[in-house]
């Protein structure tokens, strides 16, 4: 399996697991947070990683939840902010992101760090 395929599979698993896990525990967002979440999801889906990271950083400050932390971690990794990405995955895990998804995200970051250095 090549690296691109592994990323796609990992992202899909992260999305599905975080979505299932976060459902009951997610705080009710305000309309401003809801709009930011919509914009963040659009940026994430469009692979605009810098914009996605900026918006998910706002979301985790206003309404922290496992999925937002996970997506922030992925976005930060994609823009080369590897240490911050690891912190995001760890914070997501602390809020209920399934450990296997957090650990996979952290592993991907370490692979990225190795490829860069």
pLDDT one-digit tens code per residue, 75-107: 999 999 999 999 999 999 999 999 999 999 999
CATH 1.10.240.10, domain 3-23+31-116, yes or no = no
Percentage of the chain with pLDDT > 70?
A: 74
State the DSSP string of the chain.
--HHHHHHHHHHHHHHHHHHHHTTTPPPPPHHHHHHHHHHHHHHHTT-HHHHHHHHHHHHHHS--HHHHHHHHHHHHHTT-HHHHHHHHHHHHHTT--HHHHHHHHHHHHHHHHHH-
pTM, full prediction: 0.74
Q: What pLDDT score does 24 carry? A: 42
């Amino acid at each position: 399996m090549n690296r691109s395929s592994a990323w796609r599979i990992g992202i899909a698993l992260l999305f599905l697991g975080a979505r299932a896990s976060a459902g009951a525990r997610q705080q009710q967002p305000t309309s401003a947070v809801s709009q930011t979440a919509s914009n963040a999801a659009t940026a994430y889906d469009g692979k605009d990683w810098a914009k996605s990271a900026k918006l998910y950083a706002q979301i985790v400050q206003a309404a922290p939840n496992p999925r937002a932390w996970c997506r922030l971690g992925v976005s930060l990794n994609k823009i080369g902010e590897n240490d911050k990405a690891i912190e995001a995955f760890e914070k997501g895990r602390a809020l209920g992101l399934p450990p296997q998804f957090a650990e996979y995200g952290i592993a991907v970051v370490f692979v990225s760090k190795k490829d860069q250095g």
